[in-house]
């Protein structure tokens, strides 16, 4: 039987932050292919293959993810290029981490604030990582029922990145290691490099073939990695089997949260109305020209 989550920084406290972090799957900037989540997924694999310590990669990428929930593409490199000093850029990031990560334990928040900027180069990511970014997720499927199609579909790189970040941020609450939770999340869909995603319905139809297929295809991709990294991932992947270990609990909590939050995103997008932006988010915010803005919108019949 799965043991309960243990401290106050569990899903109930962090779901709001996870919702914001997950939206990086849908944020793009010029000059970077794919979403910021895709970029971070490729960047992390690049650093790992280059020999960087997984815990260091995890801390850097989690800090970038938490800050990115508010700063989007305004990362350290962009801010420094815009004229901020390295210290000023880190101060901006720290403010974002404090704001988005207010529910995180203080020691974890401090750990993220002190983490280095990510160092990986997405262009140097292993080939399988690029394929996972190109491999769409199936979404919600069930045996014997038509597929529920939502547009645009997320890709496996985005999902694995989100599970890695959520798992790392939840790790302390269930007694797991932050670096191990991140690495497991990043690697848990290696089989989908070669296996297009047919969802739960497809898995049921594969029947007894499913587990051998997953194992063979996972091993195929592990063989392309440096031996030490492949051996470590191979051991971590065992934790997918259940939620009876700290690492298993961190992984499965992160995985189910990301799958359900993705569905919630599509539901919110479908229900979006103009007042959500105009009133709740103050799209036309207070400024020296607010009166003129309001007059223009009133004449056009566009005031909420």
If you average pLDDT over residues 95-124, what whole number do you get?
96
Q: In this structure, what DSSP letter does residue 10 have?
A: S
pLDDT band at 142; cut points 50, 70, 90? confident
Average pLDDT score over residue span 255-277: 85
Distance CA 93, CA 91 (A): 5
Domain ranges of the chain: 11-135+144-272, 277-304
Q: Contact, 254 vs 167, CB < 8 A?
A: yes
Distances (CA, A) of 186 to 28, 61, 165, 241, 298: 20, 11, 9, 16, 50
149-192 pLDDT, tens digit each: 888 889 999 999 999 999 999 999 999 999 999 999 999 999 99
Query: Is residue 277 predicted with pLDDT exceeding 80?
Result: no
Model pLDDT, residue 128: 98
pLDDT band at 8 (very low <50, low <70, confident <90, very high): low
**8 A C-beta contact, residue 154 and residue 25:** yes
Lowest mean pLDDT among 203-207, 243-247, 283-287: 283-287
CA distances 245 to 29, 160, 252, Å, are: 39, 20, 10
Per-residue model confidence as pLDDT tens digits over 16-33 = 999 999 999 999 999 888
pLDDT given for residue 300 in this prediction: 80
What is this structure's pTM? 0.90
pLDDT at 7: 45
pLDDT of 297: 79
If you average pLDDT over residues 205-213, what whole number do you get? Answer: 96
pLDDT at residue number 4: 40
Query: What percentage of the chain has pLDDT greater than the value 90?
Result: 75
Give dist(CA 156, CA 258) in Å, integer: 12
pLDDT for the residue numbered 3:
40
Range 73-78, long-range pairs (CB < 8 A, 24+ positions): 73/27, 73/29, 73/32, 73/36, 75/117, 76/117, 77/117
Residue 29 near residue 72 (C-beta atoms within 8 A) = yes
The mean pLDDT value for 107-117 works out to 96
- The rounded distance, in Å, linking the Cα atoms of 181 and 249 is 10
What is the band of 49 on the pLDDT scale with cuts at 50, 70, 90?
A: very high
280 pLDDT band, cuts 50/70/90, is confident
pLDDT, average across residues 114-123: 96
Average pLDDT score, the chain:
92
Q: pLDDT for 52-76, tens place per residue? A: 999 999 999 999 999 999 999 999 9
Instruction: Using the predicted structure, report yes or no on whether residue 11 has a pLDDT greater than 90.
Output: no
One DSSP character per residue, 170-207 reads HHHHHT--HHHHHHHHHHTTGGGGTS---HHHHHHHHG
């Amino acid at each position: 039987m799965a043991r309960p989550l243990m401290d106050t920084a569990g899903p109930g406290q962090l779901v709001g932050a996870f919702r914001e972090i997950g939206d990086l799957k849908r944020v793009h900037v010029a000059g970077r292919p794919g979403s910021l989540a895709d970029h971070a997924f490729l960047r992390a694999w690049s650093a790992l293959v280059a020999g960087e310590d997984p815990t260091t990669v995890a801390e850097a990428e989690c800090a970038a993810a938490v800050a990115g929930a508010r700063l989007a593409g305004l990362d350290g490199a962009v801010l420094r290029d815009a004229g901020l000093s390295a210290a000023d850029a880190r101060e901006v990031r720290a403010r974002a981490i404090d704001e988005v990560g207010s529910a995180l334990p203080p020691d974890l928040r401090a750990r993220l604030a002190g983490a280095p900027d990510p160092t990986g180069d997405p262009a140097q990511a292993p080939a399988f990582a690029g394929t996972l970014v190109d491999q769409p997720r199936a979404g919600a499927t069930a045996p014997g029922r038509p597929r529920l199609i939502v547009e645009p579909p997320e890709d496996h790189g985005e999902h694995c990145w989100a599970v890695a970040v959520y798992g790392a941020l939840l790790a302390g609450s269930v007694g797991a290691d932050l670096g191990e939770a991140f690495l497991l999340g990043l690697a848990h869909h290696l089989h989908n490099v070669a296996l297009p995603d047919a969802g739960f319905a497809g898995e049921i139809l594969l029947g007894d073939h499913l587990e051998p297929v997953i194992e063979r295809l996972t091993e195929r991709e592990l063989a392309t990695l440096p031996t030490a990294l492949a051996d470590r991932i191979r051991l971590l992947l065992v934790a997918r089997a259940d939620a009876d270990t700290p690492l298993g609990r961190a992984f499965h909590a992160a995985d189910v949260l990301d799958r359900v939050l993705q569905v919630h995103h599509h539901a919110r997008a479908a229900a979006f109305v103009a007042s959500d932006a105009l009133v709740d988010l103050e799209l036309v915010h207070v400024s020296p020209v607010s009166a003129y803005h309001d007059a223009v919108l009133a004449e056009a019949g566009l005031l909420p």
